């Protein structure tokens, strides 16, 4: 990794490889009680005002800083998860679980009524991919639950 000093005391971190970037991202997100820094990030004015409203008038967050930081952490962690799994699949394509397998795991995690019916989830995945090749596990689950509900009535 190359660390390039920038103006104003900030650093631009230039990863040498995708894997190195993932390792660095993971390490950065694991740091607890990191010191805070001022940034010169520019955001649209309307979002700044909307955030102030959420904090000051609606009381849905303790501060704009907390709201921004927690949202940023959530998005970064989500991006890390997606990128880490995709990197593994790119390195070893046979490791990628099927859509039906992932939908079934989701069914268990969400306590879905179709969790006990992996064959139904398999059929739903097959049917949905025929029309929607980019379907996601939640799409399959929704379709499987609809099939299950229709069969139960």
User: Taking the CB of residue 51, how many other CB atoms lie within 10 A of it?
Assistant: 19
Cβ-based nearer residue to other proteins, 13 or 19 = 19
Q: Taken in order 136, 140, 143, 149, is the CA torsion positive or negative?
A: negative
- Please, what is the minimum distance in Å from the beta carbon of residue 51 to other proteins? 17
Q: Could you tell me how many residues of this chain bind other proteins (CB under 8 A)?
A: 34
Closest CA to 138 of 112, 119, 118, 120: 112
For position 18 contacting other proteins by CB under 8 A, the verdict is no
Tell me the C-alpha distance between 94 and 143, whole Å.
26
Site string for other proteins, 47-86 (x = CB under 8 A): ---------------------------x--xx-xxx-xx-
* Residue 145 backbone dihedrals phi, psi, to 5 degrees: -65, -35
Please compute, for residue 95, the number of CA atoms within 13 A of its CA located in the half-sphere on the CB side. 9
- Please, what is the minimum distance in Å from the beta carbon of residue 86 to other proteins? 10
Residues that bind other proteins (CB under 8 A): 19, 22-23, 26, 29-30, 74, 77-78, 80-82, 84-85, 87-88, 92, 94-98, 101-102, 104-106, 108-111, 136-138
């Amino acid at each position: 990794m190359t660390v390039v000093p920038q103006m104003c005391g900030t650093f631009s971190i230039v990863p040498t490889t995708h894997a190195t970037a993932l390792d660095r991202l993971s390490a950065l997100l694991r740091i607890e009680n990191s010191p805070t820094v001022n940034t010169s990030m520019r955001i649209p004015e309307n979002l700044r005002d909307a955030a102030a409203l959420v904090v000051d008038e609606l009381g849905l967050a303790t501060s704009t800083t907390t709201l921004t930081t927690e949202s940023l952490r959530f998005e970064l962690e989500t991006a890390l998860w997606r990128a880490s799994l995709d990197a593994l699949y790119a390195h070893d394509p046979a490791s990628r679980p099927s859509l039906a397998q992932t939908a079934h795991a989701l069914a268990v995690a969400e306590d879905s009524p179709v969790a006990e019916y992996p064959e139904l989830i398999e059929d739903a995945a097959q049917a949905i991919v025929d029309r929607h090749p980019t379907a996601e596990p939640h799409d399959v689950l929704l379709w499987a639950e609809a099939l299950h509900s229709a069969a139960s009535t």
